[in-house]
Amino acid sequence: MCNSGHRIETANVIVLVRDTLKGIAEYAKTDKEAFKKSVLELLASQQTNKEIAALQTTVERYENGSERAKASSSLWNATLTLPRSP
């Protein structure tokens, strides 16, 4: 049990989840196309959010120097393998 004064009754959580799922099922039955569109939009936004988070992490690492060192090393190695002009 948690040491705080807040308590959540298990039965109340079960009722809340059950009622929410019933509402979702009713919506899906009533308007299948709108439900499908809502789900697809949500999935697309979650994917976009994951991609944005990954890019932000890469930028933060680069700004902190860890990725900058890797990028510099990769660039240097790439220039070493370029053919030399006569």
**What is the reported pTM?**
0.45
Residue 77's pLDDT is what? 55
Q: Three-state SS for 35? A: helix
Written as tens digits, the pLDDT of the chain (86 aa) is 556 667 888 999 999 999 999 998 998 889 888 888 888 888 888 878 788 787 777 777 766 766 555 555 555 555 555 555 55
Residue 21's pLDDT is what? 92
Q: How many CB atoms lie within 10 A of CB 29?
A: 9
Phi and psi, residue 47, nearest 5°: -65, -45
Q: Where are the alpha helices (DSSP H) in the chain?
A: 10-30, 32-64, 66-80
